[in-house]
Structure 1
Amino acid sequence: MTRYWLAVVSRDHVRRAVELGIAQANHGKRAAVERMAAGDGLVFYSPRTGMRAGAQIRAFTALGTIGEAEPWQADDQGGGFRPWRRSVTYHDAAQEVPIDELRAELELTAVPNWGMILRRGLIELGEHDFAVVERAMVGE
């Protein structure tokens, strides 16, 4: 059964993930990427351009499908940081879409204090919401 995920990550980090064809969430925690399975859908939401600073953008910034490879621990960050990752095939045609353009259609934003839910870093997204975001980002 396909599941759908929304990861909250700064746009700078999303761009790096797309370049590498990977996903990591919740500051590289293993449990986050182990919840994902091959074929699952993934969308990134970026509140800001940078992790601790940067301009506020509040947009969906990348869209992809989790690859077949099992999660692995990377050793390319230096300083002892070894994040867990999954492979992802990103949709090349995906365009950034501000969340405000989709709020009226999303089940996620229909609940009070929906922004607090995003603080979890990685949440399961319903099929309806994933389809809304996908259609907005790639026109499908």
Structure 2
Amino acid sequence: MRYWIGVASKDHVSRGVDGGFCQLCHGKAQPLKRMASGDWIIYYSPKERFEDTLLCQAFTAIGEVAGDAVYPFEMFPGFVPFRRDIRFLPAQAAAIRPLLEQLSFIRDKKHWGYAFRFGHLEITEADFRLIAERMLGYDPVVSGRG
């Protein structure tokens, strides 16, 4: 089992949660292929909306990778991103700033946004559990409620 962070605006994350899927890195297939069924993903949203500057800076969704398929989906003519099915859990957004000192993948606490620059990263189980506890109020891996 592996643990991942995906990066997308909160409005885009909401579309994925509603549809039960994730897209990463503007629809690229490769990041999705790195994940396996049973892995976990948490979305970090730097902004509220893709086309806006209003900051969000929170973890906004959490879910378990479901199935093995990475598949194309035509959103509109000429744009066919790849998706992967995710079983999202009902969760509350968790602001990142109170967690910065505790997250091991944030190596430079002063320039913490740098960790998210590629749009997809693997994190440790400890980091996952810390964020999950803030979002869910429980650990979904230990509790079996995932």
Same fold by TM (over 0.5)? yes
2:113 alignment partner AA: G
1:7 aligns with 2:12: no
Q: Work out whether residues 103 and 110 of structure 1, in 8 Å CA contact, stay in contact via their aligned partners in 2.
A: no
Shift of 1:101: 1.9
Deviations 1:48-77 (A, max 9, x none): 0111314101000000000014110112x1
Q: Work out whether residues 104 and 110 of structure 1, in 8 Å CA contact, stay in contact via their aligned partners in 2.
A: no
Distance 2:53 2:87 in 1: 27
Q: Work out whether residues 6 and 42 of structure 2, in 8 Å CA contact, stay in contact via their aligned partners in 1.
A: yes
Deviations 1:27-60 (A, max 9, x none): 0001011111100010000000111314101000
Name the structure 2 match of 1:127.
125
The equivalences for 1:93-104 within 5 A come to: 94-104=91-101
Secondary structure of the residue aligned to 1:131 is helix
Q: Work out whether residues 36 and 68 of structure 2, in 8 Å CA contact, stay in contact via their aligned partners in 1.
A: no
Q: Work out whether residues 100 and 112 of structure 2, in 8 Å CA contact, stay in contact via their aligned partners in 1.
A: no
Shift of 1:139: 0.8
Secondary structure of the residue aligned to 2:38 is coil
* Alignment RMSD (CA, Å): 1.2
Name the structure 1 match of 2:80.
82
Distance 2:92 2:69 in 1: 28
Name the structure 2 match of 1:24.
23
Unaligned 5+ segments in structure 2 are 139-146
Distance 2:54 2:96 in 1: 15
Deviations 1:11-37 (A, max 9, x none): 000000000000110000010111111
Q: Normalising by structure 1, report the TM-score.
A: 0.93
Distance 1:81 1:48 in 2: 22
Give aligned pairs, total: 137
Percent identity between matched residues is 35
